[in-house]
Amino acid sequence: MLLDGDDNLTLEVSGLGEVVEVVSRRGILPILAGLATRPMRHNELARYTGLENKQLSRALRCAEDAGLVNRRVRGNGRPVEVAYCLTERGASLVMALNSLAHAWERGQGSGVVSYA
């Protein structure tokens, strides 16, 4: 598809920079992919993502701070059970990223977009 500038195509950039910054951080996409399947504990996420504990902890904190992941602590004794799950915002982001990936795959080789 070639866009000639007469199309009513706009890009909402408000908040887009923050989204790109968060999802481009190491470990965020694999964490979102894993938690999209089900809630997981730290060790399960480490196996799923292949990240080392320190990297995973840092990425989980980032995802929590961005409101994408919720940390659930259960139990009063030692050890407590900690599990992570997607928030509504995180699930919405996963759906948006899936849509973006599908649109990208459909568009491969089908034309050029001009930004003249």
Neighbouring C-beta atoms of residue 103, cutoff 10 Å:
9
pLDDT, mean of residues 58-85: 92
Please report, for the domain that includes residue 27, its CATH number.
1.10.10.10
Higher pLDDT, 58 or 113: 58
Specify the range with the lowest mean pLDDT, choosing from 1-5, 68-72, 85-89, 107-111. 1-5
pLDDT, mean of residues 33-46: 95
Question: Does 2 fall in a domain?
Answer: no
Distance CA 2, CA 27 (A): 35
Count: domains in the chain: 1
Mean pLDDT of the chain: 85
- Domain residues for the domain of 38 are 16-107
Question: Does 50 fall in a domain?
Answer: yes
Question: Does 114 fall in a domain?
Answer: no
Question: Does 10 fall in a domain?
Answer: no
Distance from the Cα of residue 48 to its chain's centroid: 15
pTM of the predicted model as reported, rounded to 2 decimal places:
0.78
pLDDT digits (tens, 9 = 90+) for 73-111: 988 878 888 999 999 999 999 999 998 888 888 776 555
